[in-house]
Amino acid sequence: METTPQALNIRWQALLCLAIGSIGFGVERALTWQETSVLPTPTSRTLPLDAEDRQLAKNAWKYFETNRLKSGLVSSAANFPATTMWDAASQLAGMTAAREFDLLPAAEFDRQMAQTLDALAKLPLYKNELPNKAYNAETLQPVNYGKLDKTEEIGFSAIDLGRLALWLDIVAHRYPQHAKACKQVTAKWKLTRLTNNGSLMGAHIRNGKEEWNQEGRLGYEQYAAYGLKKLGIVAPNALNPKANERNVDVLGIQIPADTRSTYHNYVTSEPYVLDGLETGFKALPVDYAGRVLLAQARRAQATGHFTAWSEDNLDREPWFVYNNIHVDGKNWKNSQSSG
């Protein structure tokens, strides 16, 4: 899910649009948390938008308007024409939210959506199998992260493709006029490369050779596997949150973490927030999200600092960082993808 060396980026603009939309229009259920003695208990309610909400939505949509390229894709970060399949999904999310808000008129939405889906269908595939991890969003050429001038195939991410598959399914069902184009995006994908023995698989290049490994940890793994189900891919191990789960103590709250130590077991808000907004908590247990939220609420109460930990781009090296509630045996730790 790494993107580009800039701070202002598409994922948070899309998330803001979605969050506001979920409150006002019921795109998915908005949740308020009523704290009990152990965990927050989710209750659903619909809230009217106020003027501040609408202005926030307009501000978020401005990013998409400003950074939409002639190709039909939106840059993952301001003034840096790169994208990933995770960020392409965020673009679809932002466009959908803008349409629901009437920030994007129906005719213009249809034109832009058709152009975007056409661009995604035209992307050169890694080894003619699956979308590359990163692309030049202007030329549509596969590239390495942050290196837009050189065509380079660097592998594929099952996590990113799971998010894109989920949003292609959402668009196809909400706007049937685009259903055929959504199917065209994935028509040439070699789906068998995305799973092995019930687990999600990704590929990357090391020393000129491909390494094909299990991809995803608790949270991101189930969220992506749920999305890939929309393409007919069933990965039982990846779908099961109990398969590799253990609880770790964070400020007295037992939050879910991954038992596997072969790669960093990041615990952030993002997969739980996205699962709630986009599926209504169908990929992950809602109480997992509650515990992750409550741990952050307790930190905010203890420190007086607003706490909302997830992942994000930076405008300096290492360019991308995970803000972890827990990772590799430590709480409240920032890390890059290499550790």
Domain contains 251: yes
**What's the rounded Cα separation, in Å, for the pair 6 and 314?**
5
Q: What is the pLDDT of residue 310?
A: 86
Domain contains 163: yes
Domain contains 243: yes
CATH of the domain at 36: 1.50.10.140
**What's the rounded Cα separation, in Å, for the pair 162 and 172?**
15
Domain contains 152: yes
C-alpha separations of 24 from 4, 28, 101 in Å: 32, 10, 9
**What's the rounded Cα separation, in Å, for the pair 17 and 64?**
11
Both structure tokens of 211: 């390494």
Query: DSSP 3-state assignment of 100?
Result: helix
Q: Supply the mean pLDDT for the chain.
A: 88
Lowest mean pLDDT among 5-14, 44-53, 112-121, 276-285: 5-14
Q: What is the dihedral of CA 105, 110, 116, 122, to 10 degrees?
A: -170
CB 266 within 8 A of CB 253: no
Share above pLDDT 70 across residues of the chain, in percent, rounded to a whole number: 84
Q: What is the pLDDT of residue 27?
A: 36
Q: Which H/E stretch holds residue 236?
A: helix 236-239
258 versus 24: the higher-pLDDT residue is: 258
Lowest mean pLDDT among 99-113, 207-221, 244-258, 325-339: 325-339
164 versus 38: the higher-pLDDT residue is: 164
Domain contains 218: yes
- Kind of pairing between the strands at 320-327 and 330-335: antiparallel
CB 112 within 8 A of CB 65: no
What is the tens place of the pLDDT at every residue in 180-197?
A: 999 999 999 999 999 999
Range of 159's domain?
A: 10-335
- Residue 13 — pLDDT band, cuts 50, 70, 90? low
Query: DSSP 3-state assignment of 140?
Result: coil
CA atoms within 13 A on the CB side of 164: 26
Look at the chain and report how many structural domains it folds into. Answer: 1
Domain contains 1: no
**What's the rounded Cα separation, in Å, for the pair 148 and 90?**
20
Q: What is the pLDDT of residue 12?
A: 58
pLDDT (average), residues 204-211? 96
Domain contains 222: yes
CB 216 within 8 A of CB 158: yes
Q: What is the pLDDT of residue 16?
A: 61
Domain contains 170: yes
pLDDT (average), residues 52-67? 94
